[in-house]
Amino acid sequence: MKISQKETFLVLRSFRSGLNNHIYSFIYDNTESELCKLESRYIFNKEEKNRLLFSDIRIAPSSSAFIKNRLDLISFSEDYATLIDEIKKECICIDGFKVEYLVFDGDTTEYSARLQKLRDVGYSIEGNPEYYNPTTTYAICYYEGIWCFGTLIKNDFAWYKHNGKPCSYSNSIGMNIAKALVNIAGKANKSKKLLDACCGVGTIMLEACFTGVNIEGCEINWKICRNARENISYFNYSANVYRSDIKDISKRYDAAIIDLPYNLVSSATESDIVHIIESTAEITDRLVIVSTSNIASLITNIGFRISDQCSVSKRGKRKFARKIWVCEKDVK
Ligand SMILES: C[S@@+](CC[C@H](N)C(=O)[O-])C[C@H]1O[C@@H](n2cnc3c(N)ncnc32)[C@H](O)[C@@H]1O
């Protein structure tokens, strides 16, 4: 890939001004591409491009299903030898470190040359390296004509433990979508109070609790509600789950997520759907709704504006798609 001087200049300028001191790498299936971009817009106010995103916003990679890692920039240079000098000047002295090479789009450096560069960086750091259980991982990469070095923070996918929740439910939403819904609803701001209005067995709540987001749940069916409580306490999280019809909740929230009932297991008529959305709209000005059909007119009829939306299909089941609607109360 040809390097554009203009792009190099812009990237260098943003690094120098400290505007893009975190480089995020993304991983997702093509069926989740729209959802990943939607989530990016609410976390970073911009979309990832070619599975990369530069930002001054710092978030833990494991709070998103799609962020593979975050590189916190320490040094950068257009000239490789200068980068190595810059790393030496940092006088990093640490035992148990590891260095990785991140191959970004457009980097044609051959494998043997990458290994040599890893050695160069390794010899610029004082201390004993550790390959398997490093205390700190550093990384280098080449992007748009610029060599970068920094600390690498990985998504350790520790939240996969939620797969082992004691109570499952055939209508549960996938964990990747659940994490994205939490980020979209709360705009990755942990001080926001969220409600999962139809929480089922608590899949979305588990992801919010994992990230430290303040969330409560509501579930009309007492058995399913009991299962949600069991799932939450199994992982030692603490969050209220109300056994209630959403219409009876009067507490206000900064945002609510509604994973609408669908199919035979938690079937709902159109009037049930209207009832759930209208009742939730009474207690918040921001809704993130998951539906399996087009509910655009229903949302606008209750006085909400659709500010963003996307569609996510199931891997291998392209015909089944969930729609995600981000809705804000219309200010008249
Ligand atoms: C699609 S499921 C939610 C699944 C959930 N996200 C999970 O992953 O487990 C929809 C849930 O809404 C609940 N529900 C239906 N009507 C409701 C109402 N009026 N108030 C609260 N919950 C309701 C159903 O019992 C069902 O468990």
Element (H or E) spanning 205, and its range? helix 203-211
- Atom 16 (ligand 1) nearest CA: 220
Q: How close is the Cα of 286 to the center of ligand 1, in Å?
A: 19
Does the C-beta of 239 come closer than 6 Å to ligand 1?
A: no
Q: Which residues contact 44 (CB under 8 A, 6 or more apart)?
A: 24, 53, 55, 57
Residue whose CA lies nearest to ligand 1 atom number 17: 220
Asked if 266 and 174 sit in the same domain, the reply is yes
Ligand 1: distance of its center to the CA of 164 in Å?
Answer: 21
Domain stops at, among 110, 139, 154: 154
- In terms of pLDDT, which residue wins out, 25 or 18? 25
Q: Are strands 286-291 and 317-329 parallel, antiparallel or unpaired?
A: antiparallel
Whether residue 37 is found in the same domain as residue 174: no
pLDDT at residue 266 is higher than 70:
no
Distance 78 CA to ligand 1 centre (A): 54
Note whether 144 and 220 are same-domain residues: no
Cα distance between residue 330 and residue 232, in whole Å? 34
Nearest Cα residue to atom 1 of ligand 1: 261
The residue whose CB lies within 8 Å of the most ligand 1 atoms, and thus the one to mutate among 170, 172, 220, 272, is 220
Residue 103 has pLDDT above 80, yes or no: yes
- Ligand 1 pocket residue status of 65, Cβ below 6 Å: no
pLDDT at 314 (0 to 100)? 79
Question: How many folded domains does the chain comprise?
Answer: 2
What tokens does 126 get? 């004082």
- Whole-number pLDDT of residue 195: 98
How are beta strands 67-77 and 97-102 bridged, if at all? unpaired
Residue 21 beta carbon below 6 angstroms from any ligand 1 atom? no
Q: 285-316: per-residue pLDDT in tens?
A: 999 999 998 999 999 999 999 999 999 987 77
pTM of the model: 0.94
| 105-124 tens-digit pLDDT | 889 999 999 999 999 999 99
Mean pLDDT value across residues 80-94: 97
Looking at residue 56, what is its pLDDT?
95
The CATH number that applies at residue 295 is: 3.40.50.150
Region 166-188: what's the mean pLDDT?
Answer: 95
Residues 163 and 268 in one domain: yes
pLDDT greater than 90 at residue 2: no
* Rounded mean pLDDT, 265-280: 85
Q: Does the CB atom of residue 224 touch ligand 1 within 6 A?
A: yes
Residues 113 and 194 in one domain: no
Residues 176 and 195 both lie in one domain: yes
- Of 137, 154, 171, which residue sits at a domain end? 154
d(CA 312, CA 128): 46
Atom 13 of ligand 1, residue of closest alpha carbon: 198
Domain of residue 145, CATH code: 3.30.2130.30
The per-residue pLDDT for range 191-228, each reduced to its tens digit, is 999 999 999 999 999 999 999 999 999 999 999 999 99
* Centre of ligand 1 from the C-alpha of residue 9, in Å: 51
> Mutation test of ligand 1: which of 172, 198, 271 has the most ligand atoms closer than 8 Å to its C-beta?
198
Ligand 1 centroid to residue 136 C-alpha, Å: 43
Confidence of residue 241 (pLDDT cuts 50, 70, 90): very high
Which range of residues forms the domain containing residue 68? Answer: 5-154
Residues 267 and 307 in one domain: yes
174 and 149 within one domain = no
Assess whether the C-beta atom of 169 lies below 6 angstroms from ligand 1: yes
191 shares its domain with 261: yes
Q: Would you say the CB of residue 32 lies under 6 angstroms from ligand 1?
A: no
The predicted model gives 56-82 an average pLDDT of 97
Q: Distance, CA 307 to ligand 1 centroid (Å)?
A: 24
Let me know if 324 is exposed, middle or buried by CB neighbors in 10 A (0-12, 13-18, 19+). Answer: buried
**Does 120 share its domain with 55?**
yes
Is the pLDDT at 25 greater than 60, yes or no? yes
Whether 246 is in the pocket of ligand 1, judged by its Cβ within 6 Å, is yes
Q: Hey, whose CA ends up nearest to atom 19 of ligand 1?
A: 245
Token pair for 147:
């060599």
For the chain, what percent of residues have pLDDT higher than 70? 96
Q: Do 204 and 263 sit in the same domain of this protein?
A: yes
Give dist(CA 37, CA 157) in Å, integer.
20
What pLDDT does residue 5 have? Answer: 82
Last residue of a domain, one of 154, 184, 219: 154
Does 277 sit in the ligand 1 pocket, CB within 6 Å?
A: no
265 has a pLDDT exceeding 60: no
The reply to whether ligand 1 has any atom less than 6 angstroms from the CB of 261 is yes
Same domain, 165 and 303: yes
